[in-house]
Amino acid sequence: MFNKEKREKKKAERLEKIEALQGDAESHARQMAEAEILYQEFSILTLGNEKRLDKLIQQANDSEILKCVSPGNVKIVEKVTGKKVSSFPGAWFVSDQRVLLCFPEPFGKTHVYEYPVETLESVSVRKCGLTAGNVRVATADELITFTVSLTSKEEIYRIEQVFNDLIKI
């Protein structure tokens, strides 16, 4: 019961931040407000990942429109060899222009993987257990698997739809 009350309090704080940021014309504030709205819209669990997500949102361009944002583990595998390129806990976002993966490195640095929308070939999703799902995106050379923490089964399919809409464009 305590955790539920704590989540509700955090949710109320996030909504207050959204309202405060929406009036600000600064691009970073706009991107943060968009991200907060997306956390709510997709029921993304951000507890313990706020700093990681903030660093990720700082990577967004002024002209980008965020479609989905989430913390989670990311695994990148070469298609041809099946060799794992990278696997890390991090965060990712999907915009109208690209998919961006971001993970922390020692000494406050951030490593970024970027995939323009034109390079995305296909997407598939799978619900795993009660609170997680996997989103698998294929490019010409790599398979990228995102683990997403969810509060409902429908959210994973909404994330899949975001990717499908981008691939069709």
- Average model confidence (pLDDT) for the chain? 76
Higher pLDDT, 133 or 145: 145
Q: Give the list of residues 6+ apart from residue 80 with CB closer than 8 angstroms, or none.
A: 141
The CATH number fitting domain 2-168, selected from 2.30.29.30, 3.30.70.1090, 3.30.56.10, 3.40.50.1100: 2.30.29.30
Q: Does residue 55 have a pLDDT over 80?
A: no
Percent of the chain with pLDDT over 70: 69
Ranges of each domain in the chain: 2-168
pLDDT tier, 142 (very low <50, low <70, confident <90, very high otherwise): very high
Lowest average pLDDT, out of 69-73, 111-115, 162-166, goes to 69-73
The distance in angstroms from the start CA to the end CA of the chain is 44
Note the Cα 48 to chain centre separation in Å: 15
Does the pLDDT of residue 81 top 80, yes or no? yes
Give the residue-averaged pLDDT of 38-57.
65
